[in-house]
Structures are given as structure tokens and as C-alpha cells.
Amino acid sequence: MTLKSKLPKVGTTIFSQMSQLAAQHQAINLSQGFPDFSPDPLLLDALAAYSQQGFNQYAPMPGIPALQTQIASLVQRCYQRTVNAEQEVTVTSGATEALFVAINAVVQPGDEVIVFDPAYDSYEPAINLCGGKAVHIALTAPGYRINWQQVAEAITLRTRLILVNSPHNPTGMVFTPQDWISLQQLVLKHNLYCISDEVYEHMVFDGAPQLSANCFADLAARSFIVSSFGKTFHVTGWKLGYCVAPAALSAEFRKIHQYVTFSSFTPAQHAVADMLAQQPQQVSGLARFYQHKRDHFVNVLHASRFTLLPCQGSYFLLADYSAISDLDDVSFCQWLTKEHKVAAIPLSVFYQTPLTARIVRFCFAKQDSTLNAAAEALCRI
């Protein structure tokens, strides 16, 4: 028997492929987006303590109240928006689950969803599984800015949703206030919904304002706003995230969430709630922490033949290698891993129609010693 695939074009993700190749060749892995340093010991102690104290059974479906309350306080602190913790905040098993559930809550068969390439790889399969169609708008180097006129022209009677991601993986582009205003205008004018993927929300650099769909009331009223404690607290393996959405949208979201995971890892919810309550500086200091890493990595790569692209936020840096090689970016990344022992991600995999640009993505959420070792190898090329 052959099962008819619902995702015929999907294979093993490039992230798994590159991490595997990095391990095989003992290369420094700057490909997949996760830190190689430890989270705060307080967080680890809290996780162990809650588990030992018996918090090991199913959490309430929308999240434990203490964490919902802390998320509502965080939204208030960062964006001055008051949300109802009980009705508008849902804890999920990573941002990936929140994105999947939000897409499933909105998209009906035949609906179109506007996504911006380069795009995070989980969006399109989720849209396709609902019978929807992703309409791709390609953003280009060096700034990867959105042309909102082009977006307006891509909207049809079937468009139901716009999916945005700021700070942006993989380009490090961050929305300006005008980007948010333009998005809000289109969403209102065409009666659309928005999913705002804000997993890097606390990593905005160079004193730029940290903005969110939460800051724009009319947009927030039609948005599912998604974030990830994996990114914020350096614990990507805990897969803990959340979705903030108005009560009516959250109610639909929860109908699906309850049958996808029902609830998320209980002791981690308690541990993260404590961190948010007792260590707010961990979140507010994150931009400075990662800006230092970006600056350090940029400095140590200064002598290399890569041309570095601007990075305004997130923990990714794009680098143009056209001065080094004529290889396409997938072949270049394989060569880089095998010959120079540094793994990166080719940019083309984030596009529906790959561009010919010679650009790769490095993750700088690494110890300075890792970044130094990688830079030494990269500068030798």
C-alpha cells in the first residue's frame, strides 16, 4: 500500500540535514538556531524543584494561570497593552504549535495566505494541510524590506490571512512603525486576519523601538501573536510558547490546541512563570546580550572575504560569499562544512522560487569561544 502524501514536496528539513552534516564532519554548527550555552541556573533549579514537588501531571488546557498572568504582565510591560490572561493568552508547546494551530483556526480550503520569503519553514505545510494556498512575496537583499504596495496588489477576494515575522528569521530585518501601520491598514481594509510570529521580539538592536502587533489596537484585534520561551530563555528544547489573541479568536484557537497537544510541559510552565515574575531583567536584558554577540561576531569576521548584511534583530546574520565562490548556496554550505568545518544554512531554502544570490545564514546564539573558532576558520578562506 502507498499512502498518498498530504505534503508531497516536503522532505527532511535543511536544518536537520546541515546539523547532521556538521556532526559528521565535526564542524562548528552555526546552522540551526539554538544557543550552545546553558540557560540560567535559576531556571534549571526551578524546573527540577517543580518536578520533584510533584508538578508532573497535565496542566490546564490553556496554560497554568500563573504563567498566563505573567505573559499578560509581559505584554503590558513591553507594549502597554492590557490583555485578559484567562481568555486571551494560551500557552503552547513551542511557537511551532501556536503557528500551526492559529493557521488551522483561520484557513479554510481555497483561502490564500500572504507569506514573505525568505519564510520560516513551518508556515507553508500548515497552510497546505488546511487546503489553503500560500501566496509568496519575495524580499530581497540587502534590506529585505516589504513593499506594502506590492502586498496590496497581491490581495484577492480569497486572501484571508497575512503572516508576518519581525524580527525576521533569517534576515534580521525588523519592522519600522510604518511597516506595522501599513500592515494594519491592509488588514482592516480587506477584513483579513494576521498571524504575527514574534519569537525574536526581545532581540531588537541599536536602540530601535521594540514594537509588536500588540502595539496597534486595530491590528491586535484581528491578530494571533505568537512567541517562544525557547528563544527568550535559551531553552529551545523545552518547546514552550504562547499565543495572544482576542477572546473570540482564542476560543477558536483553543478548540484546535486541545486536540493537538491539549496542554504543555507542566514543570516548565511553573519554572518560566517564576522567572518572569522574579527575574524580569532576564527578558529586558536580552537585546543587549544578543547585540553584544552580533557585534562580536561582526568584528571577528571583519577580516574575512564575506560581505555581511545588516542585522537589526534576531540571532541570525546573513553573509554574501560571492567574493569567495561561484557555487550555489546549498553546495557552498556543504563545501564550507566539509572543507572548513563551519556549518551554515543556505538562504535559498527559505524561498519558494530561490533567488540566485550567494548568501548564507549564520546563527550567532553561541558562546564567544564558538564564534571566535568559527570566525578563525571563515577568515582563512
We find the least distance from the C-beta atom of residue 315 to ligand PLP, in angstroms, to be 9
CA–CA gap between residue 370 and residue 243 (Å, rounded): 33
Sign of CA dihedral 268, 272, 274, 275: positive
DSSP-assigned letters across all residues of 84-118: -HHHHEEEESHHHHHHHHHHHHHPPTT-EEEEEES
> Residue with the closest Cβ to ligand PLP?
94
241 forms part of the interface with ligand PLP (CB under 6 A) = yes
Q: Which one of residues 33, 39, 63, 172 is an interface residue with ligand PLP (CB under 6 A)?
A: 33
Instruction: Pick out residues in 168-197 that bind ligand PLP (CB under 6 A).
Output: 169, 197
Q: Please tell me whether residue 199 binds ligand PLP under the rule CB under 6 A.
A: yes
Q: What is the DSSP track for 350-374?
A: G-SS-----EEEEE--S-HHHHHHH
* Residue 247 C-beta: closest distance to ligand PLP, Å: 24
- Rounded CA separation 205/157 (Å): 38
Q: Is 94 in the site for ligand PLP (CB under 6 A)?
A: yes
The three cell numbers of residue 262 are 491539549
- Asked if 216 is part of the footprint of ligand PLP (rule: CB under 6 A), the reply reads no
Angstrom CA distances, 211 to 53, 102, 218, stand at 38, 21, 15
Least distance (Å) from ligand PLP to the CB of residue 302? 27
C-beta of 1: minimal distance to ligand PLP in Å?
33
User: Per rule CB under 6 A, is residue 346 in the interface with ligand PLP?
Assistant: no
Rounded Cα–Cα distance for residues 274 and 336 (Å): 42
Binding ligand PLP (rule: CB under 6 A), the pick from 132, 230, 313, 346 is 230
Sign of CA dihedral 142, 326, 32, 29: negative
Q: Is residue 269 within the footprint of ligand PLP (CB under 6 A)?
A: no
Residue identified by cell 582563512 is 380
Q: Which is nearer to ligand PLP, 70 or 169 (by Cβ)? A: 169
Q: In this chain, which stretch among 75-83, 93-101, 124-132, 210-218 interacts with ligand PLP, using CB under 6 A? A: 93-101
- Which cell numbers in the block locate residue 187? 488588514
Q: Of the listed pieces 52-60, 89-97, 187-195, 279-287, which binds ligand PLP according to CB under 6 A? A: 89-97
Near ligand PLP in 95-114, by CB under 6 A: 95-96
Applying CB under 6 A, the residues found at the interface with ligand PLP are 33, 94-96, 120, 165, 169, 197, 199, 228, 230, 236, 239, 241
